[in-house]
Amino acid sequence: MTDLYRVENLHLSLPDMTQKPPFGAAPRLEILKGLTFAIPKGEILGLVGGSGSGKSTLGRAMIRLLEPSTGQILFDGQDITHLPESALRGFRARVQMIFQDPMSSLNPRHRVGRIIAAPLTLQNHPAPRAAALEALDHVGLPQSFAARYPHELSGGQRQRVGIARAIAQKPEFILADEIASGLDVSSQAQILGLLEGLVDRLGLTLAFISHDLSVIRRLCTRVMVMNRGEIVENAPTAEVFAAPKAAYTSTLLKAIALPDPAQPWD
């Protein structure tokens, strides 16, 4: 299987603002520590770890919202590690992110149709409105929702709009960061089922960041467990849950009640 992403010996440091002196630059804090892994095309990778493990920082580095300190990120064979912003436009059209809180990422003054179509307009799409309506169909929302404002939608509906905005651009890769954590159980199951179906129908590759191992078990084909900026386990989901190799993974598994993964989505 062809790799969409290949990451080699990735390090990333950020200024530690808690230690900033009165004068001069803040000391650097190493967040990611020599990460090496690959994501094959069509895979659903679960990124798991506690708060401060580096999983969200890694996701943002992969889509170049953060620039690594050292190491290499290859996307479909292209080195994007230190590409300047002016050279990232083609890459940006191929990757999308779905945010945890859709209300904060959706402009409250714009209608849903405009929210979905706006990025397409910036990319000179020939028919942004038609593409926006098609995206609403894909996420199971009536096309009439294009005329609504975000505050008129439920949390689950807003998250569907966020997904529609991402897939309208026909990306190859989507990064979903804790997108089910703020939803009730029923809405969470529906969103995860929707994502699973979209990966299959649209040929997407997905990285799903979550602290919820029960969600990861149901959705992901492979799990990468992170702790303090390092990868402590990276294996197919069934292997990780049946026989975790890292003590940290075992600790995470013991901390949560896991449902039967064979049960269908609600």
**133 CB-side CA count, 13 A:** 6
| 105 DSSP 8-state letter | H
**Which of helix, strand or coil describes residue 78?**
strand
CATH number of this structure's domain 3-18+26-254: 3.40.50.300
The answer to whether 30 and 11 have CB atoms below 8 angstroms apart is yes
**Structure tokens of 12?**
């990333």
Alpha-carbon gap, residue 35 to 72, rounded angstroms: 10
- What pLDDT score does 265 carry? 47
- Sheet of strand 173-177: strand arrangement: 95-98, 173-177, 205-210, 44-48, 222-227, 230-236
pLDDT in tens, the chain (266 residues): 799 999 999 999 988 877 777 777 778 899 999 999 999 999 999 999 988 899 999 999 999 999 999 999 999 999 999 999 888 988 988 999 998 877 788 999 999 999 999 999 988 889 999 999 999 999 999 999 999 999 999 989 999 999 999 999 999 999 999 888 777 888 888 999 999 999 999 999 999 999 888 889 989 999 999 999 999 999 999 999 999 999 999 999 887 655 555 555 44
Alpha-carbon gap, residue 233 to 223, rounded angstroms: 8
Alpha-carbon gap, residue 113 to 190, rounded angstroms: 22
Alpha-carbon gap, residue 243 to 218, rounded angstroms: 17
The answer to whether 181 and 100 have CB atoms below 8 angstroms apart is yes
Domain boundaries, given as residue ranges, for the chain: 3-18+26-254
Distances (CA, A) of 144 to 114, 132, 134, 152, 191: 13, 12, 12, 12, 20
Alpha-carbon gap, residue 44 to 13, rounded angstroms: 27
- What pLDDT score does 164 carry? 96
**Structure tokens of 14?**
């950020």
Q: pTM score, two decimals?
A: 0.89
- Nearest Cα to 33, choosing from 66, 9, 16, 50? 9
* Dihedral sign (CA 138, 174, 181, 103): negative
